[in-house]
A and B are shown apart, each in its own frame.
Chain A
Amino acid sequence: MYEQMILYTTSIALIFLGLASLSYSRNLIKTMMSFQVLVFGINLALFTNSINGGLDFLASTLVLFSVIIGASVESVGLALIIQIYKKYGTLDPYRLRRLRH
């Protein structure tokens, strides 16, 4: 029971870390890394639902889904980042103006 509490706390901490860094980052790669931290937090939270007694298969399946979706989002994001760098030469989101207005 203590373990669950500790794990939940760390997952909340990770989620907030990821969210705060996502709101702050001046660099797109830092954005992707903070997104990954966010996904870590979420997976941990999903996982701690299942540790009492035996393993709960529903939670494990959901973690699997989350891992796969997180991986896909990151890959697509990184591919876009490469294209952005090729076109604009900068990775600063405040400098990428063409799509904004």
Chain B
Amino acid sequence: MNLAAWLLWILPLISSPLVVLISKIGRRAVELFACIVSFIAFVLSLMAAVTYIFPSIEKITNWLPIMDLFLEIKIDGVSVLLSMFISFLSFLITLYSVGYISHEEAYTRYYSLILLFIGSMLGLVMAGNLVQLYFFWELVGICSAFLIAYYNYRETARRAGFKAFLVTRIGDAAFLFAILLTYAITGTTSLDAAISSLQNISRVNEIVGIISLLFLIGAMAKSAQVPLHVWLPDAMEGPTPVSALIHAATMVNAGVYLLVRITPVISELPSLLVLTQIVGLASLLLGALCSLVSTDIKRVLAYSTISQIGLMFYSIGLGFWHGAIFHLISQGIFKALGFLAAGSILTVVGTGNIDELSGLRKYMKYTYLSFLFAVITMSGFPPFIGFWSKDAILYTTIEKNVGLALIIGLSSLLTTLYGFRLIFRVFYGDAKISRPQNDAPAIMLIPMTVLVFLTFVSWPLLLTQRFVDFSFSLHIDLTTLSLTLIVLLSGLGLTFFIINKYKTIFDKLVSESNFLIKIRAFLMAGFGFDIIYSRTINKIMPSITKLIRRTQTGMLNINMIYVLVTVIIIIIIFIGGAA
């Protein structure tokens, strides 16, 4: 029995309630405990990776013998690789949050929720059957909702947390329905068995199409894809380490992980592949366009997350799930780095609004360098890892369909635009606000440095190749390389000119043209999804609730009539069944 693989997720889950006990000792003890536990989880994942030879599913206790349900974990390349990545990022971000929330008094709640989240995310990745995956999926959603609403004295934070929970709930319902259908058809929920039998049935039975669609909806809600993406930009109300961990690097990748597990089934259904590609491309473009106009650093990064995960969905839709996993890892690294840098700006300066920030380059050198590296990697400049992952996907696209490659090129251009827009607005120019005396505290800078280091070494790529059998050799096709470089450099140049040199001209142009103002308003409202949803719900719900309220009379006699009628119906059915 692979003890490391079991303890890896059990340990943070167990230690989450222990934080409450340890908080009686003091604040330092809690912080030390949280960092130690996440470090031990990381070490355990390394041990599981080192001893990994062949894929296996391990079972222990008989959970529900009737349903053939065991407590099992699946140890194969994807889960080992992802668990290493997640535990490493969690450890770094726990270190970071020691510095970030050093001013808050509700640290117990924070650390216990973070540990619960780490344990459940690792449990999700290592889950061996669908029911266990669903269990941890829900748990991750709950932790995310609570952590978004961490500043519970702010009403916007509470509402954002509730909104996140509500929207992901739609996906959860679809996911649950898909699991029930799978169990009804195949009689098992164990990952290997269920998926292979679904794959075999898929030619014969149309219900597999419905099951895969429901899985896709679940993944869409959790990973914030169009049209269920509305929770992610508002989820930036939470503390920045929460945004970095949950909404950039780990939880939003749960949907991608689910789709990777379901890939054998989806690849038999071409219509579903096309649907995944459409969803991915739509999110890609929507995220990129909306982050061009956002005025809050974290909101820009949130929309950027939506866009990058759209790229991952698109890659899965192409059938190239190895590229999706690799892009998952590289996106996690640079997005977490971006969020950590934004967090240090928030800590030192106090505001994240771009309009109020400028000229921070001289005063916050480390943050500036980290953010610069994050944006460069995000845009995809070679030789950083962002380039390799995007290039892999681009290469596969060109092999299949050149038109879509243009869309990806356009999105790369937009990525460069909004990334460097942030850099030029926030870090260049003359300092308007009170000059910060010093940079962020050291404990916040260390994880950022580690992540910066990771953006240009080849360790992520080598690990992915070893575990996921990612046989994309790093050949550099000169055409794609040159095209990419042209796109990137032109984006950089465009940004430089618009923001820096000809700023006043462009500002005047934008403020005078009515059309551009309307486009800007449209983009800032997130393509109007929020407004459509709230108006629809506000129209439908009151009439439904009034209808249902009328059945709840307080009178015993009416309720007993319901019981009487039900008993009569049951007897009729029973007598009929005995015939």
Contacts and interface: CB of A to CB of B under 8 A. Distances in A.
Q: Do chains A and B touch in the complex (CB under 8 A)?
A: yes
Interface of A: 12, 15-16, 19-20, 22-25, 31, 93-94, 99-101
A16 B567 CA distance: 9
Q: Please give me the 7 A-B residue pairs with the lowest Cβ-Cβ distance, nearest first.
A: A100-B554, A23-B560, A22-B560, A19-B564, A23-B561, A23-B557, A23-B564
A21 B266 CA distance: 58
Given A25-B557, A93-B557, A100-B554, 11 more contacts: A16-B567, A19-B564, A19-B567, A22-B557, A22-B560, A23-B557, A23-B561, A31-B556, A93-B556, A94-B555, A100-B553
Which of B553, B555, B556, B563 is the most central at the interface, judged by chain A CB atoms within 10 Å of its CB? B556
Interface string B546-575: 000000011111001101100100010000
- Most B CB atoms within 10 A — which of A15, A16, A23? A23
Contacts of B555: 93-94, 100
- B553, B555, B564: which has the most chain A beta carbons within 10 Å? B564
A99 B554 CA distance: 8
A93 B557 CA distance: 9
B563 A19 contact: yes
B572 to A, nearest CB: 13
26 contacts: A12-B571, A15-B567, A16-B564, A19-B560, A19-B563, A19-B564, A19-B567, A20-B564, A22-B556, A22-B557, A22-B560, A23-B557, A23-B560, A23-B563, A23-B564, A24-B557, A31-B556, A93-B555, A93-B556, A93-B557, A94-B555, A99-B554, A100-B553, A100-B554, A100-B555, A101-B554
A8 to B, nearest CB: 12
Contacts of A25: 557
Interface of B: 553-557, 560-561, 563-564, 567, 571
Contacts, number: 29
Nearest to A35: B560
Contacts of B561: 23
Contacts of A31: 556
A16 B568 CA distance: 9
A16 B554 CA distance: 22
A15 B571 CA distance: 12
A22 B561 CA distance: 8
Main secondary structure of the interface of B (DSSP, over half): helix
Contacts of B556: 22, 31, 93
Q: Which of A19, A31, A100 has the most CB of B within 10 A?
A: A19
Contacts of B567: 15-16, 19
Nearest to B553: A100
Nearest to B568: A16
A24 to B, nearest CB: 7
Nearest to A15: B567
A22 B563 CA distance: 10
A12 B389 CA distance: 71
A93 B553 CA distance: 12
Nearest to B559: A23
Contacts of A99: 554
Nearest to A99: B554
Contacts of A16: 564, 567
Nearest to A26: B557
A26 to B, nearest CB: 8
A18 B555 CA distance: 17
Which of B554, B555, B556, B560: most chain A Cβ within 10 A?
A: B560
A79 to B, nearest CB: 17
A101 B555 CA distance: 10
Contacts of B563: 19, 23
A72 B147 CA distance: 45
Contacts of B571: 12
A22 B558 CA distance: 10
Contacts of A15: 567
Nearest to B557: A23
Contacts of B554: 99-101
A25 B553 CA distance: 16
A18 B116 CA distance: 51
Nearest to B571: A12
A22 to B, nearest CB: 5
A66 to B, nearest CB: 17
Nearest to B560: A23
Nearest to A31: B556
A15 B564 CA distance: 10
B466 to A, nearest CB: 60
Nearest to A101: B554
A10 to B, nearest CB: 15
Contacts of B560: 19, 22-23
Contacts of A24: 557
Contacts of B564: 16, 19-20, 23
A15 B570 CA distance: 14
A25 B560 CA distance: 10
A23 B563 CA distance: 9
Contacts of A93: 555-557
Contacts of B553: 100
A41 B564 CA distance: 15
A39 B68 CA distance: 38
B529 to A, nearest CB: 38
B540 to A, nearest CB: 25
Contacts of A20: 564
A20 B556 CA distance: 12
Nearest to B558: A23
Nearest to A23: B560
A99 B552 CA distance: 13
A12 B563 CA distance: 14
Contacts of A101: 554
B241 to A, nearest CB: 48
Contacts of A12: 571
A88 B53 CA distance: 77
A15 to B, nearest CB: 7
Contacts of A19: 560, 563-564, 567
B557 to A, nearest CB: 5
